[in-house]
Each structure stands twice: as structure tokens, then as C-alpha cells.
Amino acid sequence: MCSIFGMFGLQPDDDIPALRRQALELSQKQRHRGPDWSGVYDDAGAILVHERLAIVDPAGGSQPLRSAEGDLVLAVNGEIYNHRELKSELGEGYAFQTGSDCEVINALYRQSDPDGDGPAAFLERLNGIFAFALWDAARGRVLVARDPIGVVPLYWGHDRAGRLCVASEMKALAPICADVAQFPPGHYYDSATRALVRYYRQPWRDYAAVEGMEVSPRELREAFEAAVHRQLMSDVPYGVLLSGGLDSSLVAAVAARYARRRVEDDDRSEAWWPRLHSFAIGLEGSPDLAAAEIAAEAIGTVHHGFTYTFQEGLDALPEVIRHIETYDVTTIRASTPMYLLARRIKAMGVKMVLSGEGSDEVFGGYLYFHKAPDAREFHEELIRKLDALNNYDCLRANKSMMAWGVEPRVPFLDREFLDVAMRMDAAHKMVRKGDPGHQRMEKGILRHAFEGYLPESILWRQKEQFSDGVGYGWIDGLKAHAEAQVSDRELAAADRRFPVNPPQTKEAYYYRMLFEQCYPGAACAETVPGGKSIACSSPAAIAWDASFAAMADPSGRAVAGVHAQAVAAG
């Protein structure tokens, strides 16, 4: 994973050397994402800059990637997990110039119908996480696209001269684009039609398409095993994040089963780094550190549990907010320990990790899902949560880790796994109070599918948010610090200082001040939807239980009554 910067729509009277220098300077603001190499391309119509984090084909996969004829120029931030299958299907129709997994995008574009629905057709074939800009110099055409869920960040806007600019992070565009905005997941933009098009439309988004459908525990397990196996694609040392919760423990347990063989040659040879390393972080005595030790011992990973102090976390907050580009309370709370952990992982020489994000959105793991009245509403809320992931958990995982050049991958959001897990009727995901079987707790169907993989204490561990699990003193300390930094008068006037998404608490106000120092202006503020990711603040959740409307604290502990009831039921 890397960073990209692109500038398109250059005019004959533009000073290309000056614009090239500007593009390089702006791209440098993202170099933490790609510290291994920099590449740049320019012509009379476009400039592309790429900062590379070398994971696949480290010796030969430098970008921008160019076709043999030189007319296709591609800058990609991402990984294409099914690139070998796609290359095999393409046969000899394209002359590949590198071993990069991402070059298959150029090949698919070349094969597509340039005047038909070519982009949508070939983008549907990609299983991966990506954000890219492809410049077709012969046609003067740019194609910009982002992966279906938005695991990889992408922003776009226009400079003062009206040129289209795209970048992996907002910090590269904010200085020149007054209209900077997030590029939507599952979409592409084609300059030939000037249209922004949604290409990712799955039948399972509609509850009517999944009602009554079943997926066996075996099929679910095998689909997830295949997803983890695919995502072990790497030519550099990798590891797993292991909080000791269900999701990260399942990722680690499955990865451990494949870690000794090399995925790149269909498991025929021994892996270059056969011992799987796992990583956890928390305050001294945190629940996650204790649970991670148990999980790691059972799985057999080489485990590294790190502690941080409250002061270390507090000191990091300004840099965390600069990197993650949000003022959302939950995201900042969870991003800070993840940011500190990424630095430790980088120091150990690991460049890629697998993580457990996405499971709660696929299986209804948040505690307020206990209140869902029926399967239809449960399913529809899952869709809303998946659509919002790019603003919250995906943003946190990607930007917190990439701040130190560590690439996170998320098997629960693998395209093929999603198609299996989401075609299941949500009735099978709902909690049934008093059920002695697998539906007595959230994500019961998932837990049941992996019986025997993990110790019972981990497999049936109660849900906690990451920011809670690292130690309850972390959140309590943050609230106390914000109380001392923000006066009652300031909070009362929050809507005048911050007319876009005015903060509702002192903690939110404090984070907003830090955000504004890095990203002033309404456009930057508007890239954060609502400014709060309180799980139970969604309209559906409030309809399920009106008491959720009054909650201003996004901690899992604040979901009134549900946490205690869930623990008792388990």
C-alpha cells in the first residue's frame, strides 16, 4: 500500500515544470504511507506522483506503472488479491512490465470497451483494496476508482485553475483545493463522460434478496479461511493484530494455519518468514493485553504485547488527528493506541498486518443490535454500517497504521467473503435471549462456525470497543483532560465557532480544535460526517430504543443496560 497524487486537465499554457514541483511537494505530505520509493510522471495533460510501500515485487514494482507502449500510466494505492487469476484469464493479451499485483488494472483497462461500460465491467472483477488514477495519454482520459467498501482512502477536488486533483490523504489537497472531498467507495469517475458512477451493487443489499437464505457454518468458515489465505500475499515480513477479542483472534488463528507456506506459489514452498508474529497494545493491566496472551498461546504466534502510558497517548493526540484527518470521538480514541502500536511494529521490521475490522458490520456485533426488532431492520442497519465504514473503522485502521508505513489488511471485508456472509438472512445473526445455543450472544453464527479454533474464553468473549479494551483509564483520562481544556462557555458557543457539525461534548470540542489547526475551512470539516460515530445514534437504533438518542458518549460501556444484560446473558 502506498500513496498517490494526481493532477489532470493541464492546459497548453500551464507551466509544467512548476506544476511538477508543486505536485512533488504536495505528495511529500503523504510520504509516511510510502517511504520506500517515489515515482513521478508528467506530460502535457497530467502529472502523477507515487510514494511506494513495497509489499509485492519490492524490486520491480515501482510506480507509476506504464504499459509497454507508454500510453497507459497508473498510480495505485492498494493490493489486488486475485491478480494471478486475472492474469491467467487475460492470457497473452497484455505485455506485463512488472510483477506488481496492481499492473493487472492496466491490462483490464486495455481489454475493456473504452466507449461502453468498460470501467464497471473490469472493476467488478477486482478482489482487493485499492484507490487508483489511470491516465490514458492517447485519449486524454483519466479514470479514478476506489474499492467497494472504502478500505483505502481517497480524496479529490479542484485547484484554483480548475484542474482535477486526487490524493490518498486530504493533507495533500487541502492547501490547493477549496472543494476537497472524499471520493466515494465503490465508484469510479471517467473524464470521458465526466460522470461519477457507482459500480459496486450487490443483490444482498436488498433484504428481499436474502430473506430465508441460509449459509452453513462450514461454508462460512471456509469462505473466511479463503479470504485470510488470499490476503497473506506478501514478499515482506508480516504479522497480525491481536487484541484478544473474537475478530482479531479468528484472523490470527486462520493466518497461523497458512503462515508456514508461501501463498505466492500456491503453498508449494516454505514461507520466507514462517513464524507468525502477533501484536497487541494497552495500558498496564488492560483487558486486551490479558486476553491477547491467552489467544496467542492457543494459536501459537510469537506474541508481542506492548504497554503505553496515558501521557504517551495524550502527547500523540495532535499527530494522530493530523494523520487520521477526522475529529470523530470514537475514531480518535481508538486510533491513538493503534498509532502507537504501528510505530512499535514498524521498528520490528514488519510492513503488513492483518486486522479484524468489519466483522461487527457484517454480523451485527455492536451491542445495540440486541434491540433490533426483526431481521429486516437488522439487515438494513448492517448495510448502513457497511456504507459508513470508510469514515470510521477503515479510516482508523488504514491511516493509523500507514502513519508509520505499516499496511493493514481486513479479511472480513474481502469481496468474496462478503458475498457469502451477507447473503445470509439476518435472522441467523440476531441474538435470541435465553437461547442455549449459538445465538445467545452477538455474532453467534460466526462463533459457532469456528468452534474448536480458539479457547472458549476467547471464542465467547463479550464485545468491547477497542478504545475500551486497551484500558478503561484511557477514555476516562481523555474526558478529564478535555474537561480541563474546554470551558463551559466555549462549549455553549460551539455552534458559532464550528457551524459544520458542532461538537456536543468537551472531548469532541477539544478534538475539533486540534483538527482545525491542521485542516481549517468548511470543506475539510465536511469530510467528517456528523462528527460522531456513536453506535446507537443511528436513526434505526434510536427507533429501536428511544433512550439511545440522549447518549453523548460513544463508549460501549455507555449503551445503557445492553452491556450488562449481554454479559449476564452470556
Residue indicated by cell numbers 441460509? 214
Q: Is 2 labeled as catalytic in the residue annotation? A: yes
* Phi then psi dihedrals of residue 99, to 5 deg: -95, 10
Helix (H) or strand (E) holding 324: helix 310-324
Residues 6+ apart with CB under 8 A from 34: 1, 2, 3, 50, 51, 52, 53, 405
What 8-state DSSP symbol labels residue 201? -
Cα of 491 vs its chain's centroid, Å: 32
**290 contact partners, CB below 8 Å, separation of at least 6:** 244
Rounded CA-CA distance 459/448 in Å is 9
Can you give the three-state secondary structure of 139-158, one letter per residue?
CCEEEEEECCCCCCCCEEEE
3-state secondary structure of 280: strand
Rounded to an integer, what distance in angstroms lies between the CA atom of residue 155 and that of residue 346? 26
In angstroms, rounded to a whole number, what is the distance separating the alpha carbons of residues 242 and 341?
11
What single string gives the DSSP state of each residue in 102-137?
Answer: GGHHHHHHHHS-TTTTHHHHHHTT--EEEEEEEEET
Q: How far apart are CA 570 and CA 558, in angstroms?
A: 19
Of the candidates 398, 400, 380, 410, the residue with the CA atom closest to the CA atom of residue 250? 410
How many H helices and E strands in the chain? 24, 17
E strands in 285-397: 302-307, 352-354
Catalytic residues: 2
